[in-house]
Amino acid sequence: MIGRLRRREFIRLLGGAAATWPVAARAQQDRRVRWIGALTVYTDSEKDGLERATAFEEGLAALGWNVGRNVAIDYRWAVTDIEKGRSAVRQVLRLSPDLILVNGGPALTAAQQATRTVPIVFTGVSEPVDRGFIASLARPGGNTTGFANMESTVGGKWLELFKEIVPGAVRLRVVFNPASSFAKAFFRSAETAGDKLSIQVSAAHVHDLPEIEAAVSAIGREPGTGLILPPDGFTPAYGRQILSLIGRYGIPTITSNRSFVVDGALVSYGPNVLDPIRRAATYVDRILKGENPAELPVQNPTKYDLVINLKTAKALGLEIPPSLLARVDEVIE
């Protein structure tokens, strides 16, 4: 495996090659080398992005596809909104890819708008049927298939976990960009659960960093208030700033993103982040060998992870119940 520093430099080189290597030169390459365009919400300097790229390439290698030998991957990073998605897809399509791998709703929206012929495999997309990306899970139709993110009902599970960990909580604020339709669905699920658990749940809509700073700062001034970060393509782009704010104000925070907990948030509950990436490699393999994406069923997560940061819990004066610790998949100390 490529070392972390060398790997980062390698991925940057490969991901940036589209801007410098003429399309004609690529067209002259041996067509036994298959081209994949990969669009992700993460950046090439984030460990999340590098871990996912590594997992995908390892999954391909296990199936006989080796980068630099019979497959090439053109990475496009930080696709966090539809305009960035459209720009990234335009650049990728200039390379006449055999397949496009996308992570997140903005990238999938842009890819589907740009092509109905190039196969698309997605990960990290919630409620793909309700959002019109596919016809059904069993038979997605068109040129798109993939691996859905968790269902919005997980919002209720977050409330149950939070109440168990922070029994004194009376309010939870859900911070998200209102342009994210699936984040709204998680909010509604959490709101319904809040009524049953006697926790007031409200939304804090944010569109940029100043609004995030204002919203989180306001939460920090409210005693007995916690924070929910639902999955979307927006808040991960400001992860470092959000973590700094919740640390400064001592805000108990629950999210689906394990990396937030590794870096200081209190608890996460969500699908194992690398499993769908590895599974996506199997669909890429099948499509490159001739199968039709329209006939490959979209799959839901199969493994959920509960992760708790004990150092953060101690700093917040919280004692994790032994019954909950027995159910934890990973403890950060």
333 residues of the chain, pLDDT tens digit each: 333 333 344 343 344 444 333 343 444 444 589 999 999 988 887 788 899 999 999 999 999 999 999 999 999 999 988 999 999 999 999 999 999 999 998 999 999 999 999 999 999 898 899 899 999 999 999 999 999 988 888 999 999 999 999 999 999 999 998 887 778 888 999 999 999 999 999 999 999 999 999 999 999 999 999 999 988 777 877 888 999 999 999 999 999 989 899 999 999 999 998 999 999 999 999 999 999 999 999 999 988 999 999 999 999 999 999 999 999 999 998
Helix or strand or coil: residue 101?
Answer: strand
Nearest one of 224, 218, 230, 236 to 191, comparing CA atoms = 230
83-92's contacts with Cβ under 8 Å and 24+ in sequence apart are: 85/39, 85/109, 85/110, 85/111, 86/110, 86/113, 86/114, 88/39, 89/37, 89/39, 89/113, 89/114, 89/115, 90/114, 91/18, 91/19, 92/18, 92/37, 92/39
The whole-angstrom separation of Cα 257 and Cα 320 is 19
DSSP label at residue 58: H
How many Å separate Cα 22 from the centre of its chain?
31
Query: For the chain, how are helix, strand and coil distributed in percent, rounded to 5?
Result: 45, 20, 35
Question: Does an H or E element contain 191, and which?
Answer: helix 181-197
Kindly provide the residue ranges of all beta strands, DSSP E only, lying in the chain, ordered along the sequence: 34-39, 71-76, 99-103, 120-125, 144-148, 171-176, 200-205, 225-229, 253-255, 267-271, 304-309, 330-332
Angle 167-169-175 from CA coordinates, rounded to 5°: 130
Distances (CA, A) of 38 to 50, 216, 220, 261: 13, 33, 38, 26
pTM, 2 dp = 0.79
**Domains of the chain listed by start with CATH number:** 4-149+272-302 (3.40.50.2300), 154-271+305-332 (3.40.50.2300)
The whole-angstrom separation of Cα 86 and Cα 112 is 10
Both tokens assigned to 294: 């329209």
The whole-angstrom separation of Cα 256 and Cα 270 is 4
Residue where the block lists tokens 């100043």: 210
How many Å separate Cα 222 from the centre of its chain?
29
